Amino acid sequence: MSNKNKQDPQSQKNNVKIPDYTPWPENFEQRYKKIGFWQEITLGEILLPHLPKEHPAVIDDQLSWSYKELNSHSDKLANILQQKGLGKGDKVVIHLPNCCALFELLFALFKIGACPVMALPTHRYSEISYFCQFTQAKAYFGTTRLNGYSCESIVNQLNENQKLHMSYLINLNSNFISLSHALTTERMKENIGDLNALPENIEFQPTDIKASDIALFQLSGGTTGVPKLIPRTHYDYLYSVVGSNEICQINEHSIYLAVLPVCHNFPMSSPGALGIFTAGGTLILTNSGAPDNAFSLIEKYRVSITALVPPLAIAWLNAFEARQKLNENLDISSLKILQVGGAKLSYEAARKVAPILGCQLQQVFGMAEGLVNYTRLNDDIETICLTQGRPLSRLDEIKVVDDEDNPVFPGETGHLLTRGPYTIRGYYKAPEHNLKAFTSDGFYRTGDRVRVNEDGYLIVEGRSKDQINKGGEKIAAEELENHLLTHHEVFDAAVVGMPDDYLGERICAFVIAKNDLKIPLTATGLNRFLRARQLAEFKYPDRFELVDDFPKTRFGKVDKNALRLHISEKLIQITTQTKHTA
């Protein structure tokens, strides 16, 4: 790879085609390869060293597959997908819950060099159709059982509105992966059949896949009108997985419970599912983080590590404490590491993890764009509870700067910029946005405000990006505002986070209605409107504030700080009033 194609506003003006993907500069690539950080291995190959292992590679609520089985299932599927016309570089939107079939599909795609776009189970037609259209995806894989939702209507609408080469509905009830091929709404289900009935060792056509190729697309939490796509190469993604494995001491005896949606970067790669497969351990998949379900899985499978967002961690702590008080004995002593990340964990909650759950807390501050920070297993308890860890790699570069990009004094809070061996140099097909999101020398502007302590550990103090972090789920304010603005009675909308004890933040939408409305706007009406737009439910505002005007900054922009302050104060008032009347 070379860096011939760095984004340059001039070339844009001169109508020179800007590449979709920004590679690392040549000298960086050479350095990462020379010191062995980047290796010539692709994700499709990581199962191979573990085929002789007897223990399961992956278990869900219905299936348990050894490494050999997972590998041969994905070989067969790779072969079928090739026959169906999928090949190197094709984009495939994946919209599945935590299940064995998801990994069969992922490995099949890695093997033929097709690039999965990792949608989340909570996404709906609005997001999915955008991913399909933006990446010009050749295929979409949904299921009839997506945590209580059927993707059938998504498939129908995709078939009507977008000319995808194929879209599949996977039936997860059967004991094998059964794909339904839909080219038209009328001819929706062409059953591929029982993969187990195919002969063993079906070969797929080897494809020339390089470690420098894009392996998959992660999704950005986003700050703009539409979600950004994050191209991760085999080189950089695997490096982050292997580095995470070292830090978390993952080996073939490790048993990882995935309760978070496994396509998200955290449970996928930090070290997550791919960490487990790289080390030859066992991955347990479930779709419910509810404490009772999780505790019984930990007990049943002797789980050693799992990953949660803060609200779930707090729910587990409360539930386990309650069980202890009732003397209900549950043996979760196999659990050695509880990773918590995605949003900030309070010090008070952090302090409770070891005494209540009897395992070690590891704070993880990461981002789908790359950089992941971990507290280390041998850190002292104050470091583990007070900080969000330090970078995975010694080649991660961290800068903390002020509004003018000047470094702040050591220990002071500022904007976090980073670059390194697994932090992207640009979003996919987003040249203009990239000019803002990256510095000219390739540092990613994370949008997080942090300070670094004297030991090099990061403490997250806040955020400068226009995003709401609802217990780990990210909502780009602009995206939601754009949806609200399409309502014919909405004159203007401004979305901000409001404080919440449990989730950290919830969503508050300030809305100005158009003049002279016969029927006034209501929260119910606006929510119904968003539902009709088929938006992921976690993006629905938790509260609407109908106002006549927005406060403005001295530059004439909507003053979101003032709106945040307004809603926080109002919430305090409401709580005090409720206490008084109670």
| Binding region for ligand OOB (CB under 6 A) out of 58-66, 340-348, 532-540, 541-549 | 340-348
φ, ψ of residue 258 in degrees (nearest 5): -100, 110
Nearer to ligand OOB, 73 or 465 (CB): 465
Given the complex with ligand OOB, which of 167 and 244 has the nearer CB atom? 244
368 is a contact residue toward ligand OOB (CB under 6 A): yes
What minimum distance in Å lies between the beta carbon of 446 and ligand OOB? 5
Dist. CA 530–CA 521, nearest whole Å = 13
Q: Is 343 in the site for ligand OOB (CB under 6 A)?
A: yes
Q: Measured from the CB of residue 422, what is the shortest distance to ligand OOB in angstroms?
A: 11
In the complex with ligand OOB, which residue's Cβ is closer, 113 or 227? 227
Q: Which positions ≥6 away from 144 have C-beta within 8 Å?
A: 150, 151, 152, 169, 170, 171, 172, 173
* Under rule CB under 6 A, residue 367 binds ligand OOB: yes
Regarding 460 and contact with ligand OOB (CB under 6 A), the answer is yes
- Tell me how far, at minimum, the Cβ of 311 lies from ligand OOB, in Å: 13
Query: Which residue from 7, 135, 143, 265 is in contact with ligand OOB, where contact means CB under 6 A?
Result: 265
372 part of the interface to ligand OOB, by CB under 6 A: yes
Residue 503 is a binding residue for ligand OOB (CB under 6 A): no
Question: From residue 429 to residue 448, what is the string marking binding to ligand OOB with x (rule CB under 6 A)?
Answer: -----------------x-x
Residue 534: helix, strand or coil by DSSP?
Answer: coil
Q: Which is nearer to ligand OOB, 447 or 551 (CB)?
A: 447
**Alpha-carbon distance values, 47 to 5, 68, 172 (Å):** 34, 8, 23
Q: Whose Cβ is closer to ligand OOB: residue 445's or residue 566's?
A: 445
Measured in Å, how far apart are the chain's first and last C-alpha atoms?
67
- β-strand partners of 216: 232
Instruction: Using alpha carbons, list the distances in angstroms from residue 341 to 132, 247, 290, 346, 582.
Output: 29, 15, 17, 11, 36
- Cα–Cα distance for residue pair 14/55, rounded to 1 Å: 58
212 binds ligand OOB (CB under 6 A): no
Give 142 or 271: the residue with its C-beta nearer to ligand OOB.
271
Q: Which two tokens stand for residue 418?
A: 């980073």
- Least distance CB 253 / ligand OOB (angstroms): 23
- The answer to whether 494 and 553 have CB atoms below 8 angstroms apart is no
Footprint (CB under 6 A) of ligand OOB, residues 462-491: 463, 469, 474
Give the range of 175-183, 292-300, 322-330, 335-343 binding ligand OOB by CB under 6 A. 335-343
Dist. CA 75–CA 201, nearest whole Å: 7
Determine, following the binding rule CB under 6 A, whether residue 192 of this chain makes contact with ligand OOB: no
Residue nearest to ligand OOB (CB): 366
Judge contact between 133 and 119, C-beta under 8 A.
no
**Spatial contact of 504 and 469, defined as CB atoms under 8 Å apart:** yes
Q: How far is the CB of 346 from ligand OOB (least distance, A)?
A: 11
Candidates 365, 444, 457, 510: give the one binding ligand OOB (CB under 6 A): 365
Please report, for residues 208, 241, 252, 559, 563, the alpha-carbon distance to residue 554 in angstroms, rounded to integers and kept in the order given: 56, 46, 59, 9, 15
Q: Residue 425, Cα to own-chain centre: how many angstroms? A: 18
Cβ proximity to ligand OOB: between 179 and 475 the closer is 475
Interatomic CA distance for residues 567 and 500, integer angstroms: 11
Residue 396 makes contact with ligand OOB by CB under 6 A: no
Out of 266, 422, 443, 457, the only residue in the binding site for ligand OOB (CB under 6 A) is: 266
Pairing relation of β-strands 305-308 and 255-258? parallel
Among 224, 286, 363, 387, binds ligand OOB (CB under 6 A): 363
Q: In whole angstroms, what is the distance from residue 180 CA to residue 187 CA?
A: 10
8 Cβ neighbours under 8 A, 6+ residues apart:
none
The piece of 7-15, 98-106, 166-174, 363-371 that touches ligand OOB (CB under 6 A) is 363-371
- Residues 370 and 359: their CA atoms lie apart, in Å, by 27
Smallest distance, Å, CB 181 to ligand OOB? 32
Write down the least CB distance from residue 388 to ligand OOB, Å.
4
Give the residue with the Cβ less far from ligand OOB, 79 or 469.
469
Question: Should residue 341 be labelled a site residue for ligand OOB when binding is judged by CB under 6 A?
Answer: yes
Let me know: does 320 contact 359? Beta carbons within 8 Å.
no
Tell me which residues touch ligand OOB (CB under 6 A).
221, 265-266, 270, 341-344, 363-368, 372, 388, 446, 448, 460, 463, 469, 474
